[in-house]
Amino acid sequence: MTSNFDVVLFSPNIEGARLLGVYSLASHLRQNDISVKTIWNWYSTFPEFYAICKKVLSPSVLVIGVSSTLLNFPRIINDYDRPESFFYYDKDELKKRIDLMRKFAPNAKFVIGGSQISISPEGAHSMGLELFDIVVKGQGEESLLAIVQSLKGGQRFRTESITPPVVSDKIYPYDSFNQSNVMFTKDDNIINGEALPIEFSRGCMFKCSFCAYPLTNKSRDEYTRSFDILREELIYNYNEFGVTNYFVSDDLLNDSMEKVDDICRLADSLPFKLQYSAYVRLDLIRRFPTMADKLRDSGLVSCYFGVETINDRSGKAVGKGLGRVRTDEAVDILDKSWKQSVLITVGMILGLPYDNTDTVHELLEWAQTDIVSRTFKNINPLPLIIHPKRSVSSIEIDNEKYGYDLSKPLLAHGRADWVTKNYSYQQAAKDADYFKEQYFKQYKFREIIAWGNLPYYLALCDNPADILDVCLHDRSNRWSSDQEFLQYVNSLETQHKKRYFDSLIKG
């Protein structure tokens, strides 16, 4: 028997915890008396997908939304030259699934939205965007609300363009984020004790030259939720679902001492021990050394630092100007404060303005120093991505100023095959793969848990200390090999997602 919902929103269920997007949208719609079902099962087998559609879709559904966070980034050199499915499946499979949904919900409008619509528009346009009726760009809360209310009332909603119809936050701005909350319900099928996503703030106070994300250069109070609302949300999730572990989806967690102090005060006020992962900026810890202690004490168990480069000239050129000496000073602060109690992944970029073929060797030498290898458990370099047609980042807007020659044909998804000072995109991609091959030789457990998913697996496992030993100290009394550890982690996720699927179909 199907249920009658106004809106059904599909979110990816790739490895690890849920992503926040569809739940933020669902909560906003529900607060405006619109019924919503969220589905955390886009990457299911086709028989599972059929069962989901049969269970939750009906002619009463007005909107079916799909999150573009499904974009599957290429990870190895051979992937950079070929097109790939924007929606994980190939285009035929995507059409097959949308045709199935149209069969069960013949009156629904299909809407695609999410960050990757802006970040990789070429990927979306080349791999199936035409299968959707409406595109939502930017913050989607008010845009999606306007679409649903218009469909309910038989009215027209405003668009930026006609083919395809694009609805954006420029037309329907979302101005109430600071007082917003995300209230999960039975229609989200939360499994007791699992980790959940949460958002303290949106956007970033900085504007790095390579960054293509929206809401940069914001002030501290812009898009920052209030203490009382955050506490209410955390207490509600604890009481209703037993949740104590979170993935904080903020673009930047530690943008000021005031915000970090608020997080500490929030954690201290809770009736449980908070554990979370987050994006953190290293130069701010160097500027405010007490930040390290406060983040640790507030419950930070894993984080991602976008260090990007240790090359002084490249760093200054793109707004990441610590350089190697001051980066090492910041690492020393972390080493003394965190004492290997936080799982850290570091993002690096190869191909910044003053990089060359020596850069990867300098980076590898730095990564293998005692203090760096002790403090960071995953250093992940990627080649610089430039989308010249997108023209969002400073480098994309004025690439010649930064020394990039984009005269060669574009690669898949509109990526530029750039050259700068005799260093090419292709070489940077090969160097990134070479670095990873050499870097992970030093570890016994090479398949460690991704930083953002650590709270998720800690919430699922029977003994968190076992997992922390592997991730933080590269040792284990429980698993003798990397393969055994990976099998255990996969079994945790399989069991959890089976429970979710069973609750979705049988609940």
**Mean of per-residue pLDDT scores for the chain:** 89
- Residue-wise pLDDT tens digits, 380-424: 999 998 988 878 889 999 999 999 999 998 887 678 899 998 899
Three-class SS of residue 241? helix
- Residue-wise pLDDT tens digits, 457-502: 999 999 999 999 999 999 999 999 999 999 999 999 999 999 999 9
Cα Rg of the chain, angstroms: 23
Q: What is the pLDDT of residue 41?
A: 74
> Which parts of 277-342 fold into alpha helices (H)?
282-287, 290-298, 312-318, 323-338
- Residue-wise pLDDT tens digits, 93-124: 788 889 999 999 999 999 988 877 765 555 55
Beta-strand (E) ranges in 68-208? 109-113, 134-137, 166-168, 196-198
Q: What is the pLDDT of residue 369?
A: 96
CA distance 425 to 383: 6
7-177 and 191-442 have identical folds: no
pTM (predicted TM-score): 0.93
Structure tokens at 87: 């929606």
Pairwise pLDDT comparison (390 vs 354), residue with the higher score: 354
Average of per-residue pLDDT across 221-243 = 94
Return the CATH class of domain 191-442: alpha beta
Burial class, 326, CB count within 10 angstroms (exposed 0-12 / middle 13-18 / buried 19+):
middle
How would CATH label the architecture of 7-177? 3-Layer(aba) Sandwich (3.40)
pLDDT of 75 > 70? The answer is no
Pairwise pLDDT comparison (84 vs 263), residue with the higher score: 263
Burial class, 435, CB count within 10 angstroms (exposed 0-12 / middle 13-18 / buried 19+):
buried
Element (H, E) at 103: helix 91-104
Q: Where are the domains of the chain?
A: 7-177, 191-442
Residue for token pair 């982690």: 489
pLDDT confidence of 434, banded at 50, 70, 90? Answer: very high
